[in-house]
Amino acid sequence: MKLYTADEMSRADGGAQHLGIPGGVLMERAGVAMAEEVMARYQARRILVVCGGGNNGGDGFVIARELQRAGIRVSVVATKDGYSGDPATNLEVLRNLLVPIDGPECLGGLLENADLVVDALLGTGFSGKVREKEAGLIRQINDSPAAVVAVDVPSGVDGSTGEVAGEAVRADLTVCAHAAKVGCVISPGRRHAGETVVVEIGIPPEADVEPSISWTGRATLSGLVPRTGDPAHKYSAGAVMVVAGSRAMTGAAVMSVRGAERAGCGITFLATSAGAAPAVDIALTETIVYGVEEDESGGMSPDAAGEILDRSGRATALVVGPGIGSGEEGRRLVEALLAGTDVPVLLDADAVTSLAGTHVLAGRDAPTVVTPHAGELGRLLGSGAAGVSARRLASAREAARDNG
């Protein structure tokens, strides 16, 4: 799934206007489609639309008009004193239709009677920390028991990164115009977006841009797994050598191998410490298990790297890291394995942690996938888990840049 930043969405919108599609037409199509999405998913009879000062607010005005046209009781909070351009045009239509329009000071009372709130306050272009005026409105929305639908991006979420620097709306549903926004998919913004859906607004392919970020989910990954025809043998579906586990971490080895099997791998090999091998061998009846030399802690010795590589002769990929230990011995083992193979390698867990402060990955030319959680990536970057969690996209980019 392609994800758009604020700049990419702006360029796509501008491209459509350059082809002669007025911005007001795009706003109309966005608002109508979003209103239809709201009505299809909710049975709310009293809806409050909170509109900010930009085009996001303009979308909100169109949404309010369409909801009112469908017979729903609609109230609008307009937070700006004076609107211009397309938002002003759509606000004037609401006034002509006698839709109730109030200022932000009335939000609290209006929320008491609302079944659903449409957040059209800040939008995709927002970044940084919300001002206290908007922060107060966001707190009131979040404190309301009403369902919340956000327009494009929940207010307070950076649409280009998913970062949340202060108050942010907690939506049950976010409706994105044209394409999903980065901020709705990358945490912590993802936790504020609820379910994310996309509606078309009429931007033609000739006006569109190629986004710099894409989201690879379960469905995409399933489509990438080779499907073997008949006849086929186990090696035609891929052979994976998993390097995982220790005497204290037998479960890590078992789960890693089972993950490879569930992904469709034809045959799995496991290299684990000699002390862990008997227990693991019982659990993994379809895996060829090698118990290799272990160190004093019960993990695999760096001296076992040669044997592991020899045993990996028919492997088309390696998985290295879960439960191997992240100390000096683990680091030396990981470095030796990376230096000794040109097949794709996936590094997880202790393998990631063990490479903190090194430049091993930057010197590797073969395909390498790193799958850390926030703590492991924080150790690799020297920033800590909290820093990664707050800036996940920036942290991932930093890790990719620094490690080749």
pLDDT in tens, 125-168: 999 999 999 999 999 999 999 999 999 999 999 999 999 999 99
Question: Averaged over 239-266, what is the pLDDT?
Answer: 96
* Distance in angstroms between the alpha carbons of the first and the last residue of the chain: 25
pLDDT at 16 over 80: yes
How confident is residue 404, by pLDDT bands cut at 50, 70 and 90? confident
How confident is residue 15, by pLDDT bands cut at 50, 70 and 90? very high
The CATH number of the structural domain formed by 234-371 is 3.40.1190.20
Conformational region of residue 381, where left means phi above 0, alpha means psi within -120 to 50, and beta covers everything else? alpha
Domain boundaries, the chain: 2-215, 234-371
CATH topology identical between 2-215 and 234-371 = no
Per-residue pLDDT at 231: 55
Give the range among 185-194, 220-229, 241-250 with minimum mean pLDDT: 220-229
Per-residue pLDDT at 225: 74
* Fold classification of 2-215 (topology level): Rossmann fold (3.40.50)
CB 55 within 8 A of CB 27: yes
CB 46 within 8 A of CB 113: yes
How confident is residue 230, by pLDDT bands cut at 50, 70 and 90? low
Stated pTM of the model: 0.88
| pLDDT tens digits, 382-394 | 989 999 999 999 9
Looking at residue 226, what DSSP letter applies? P
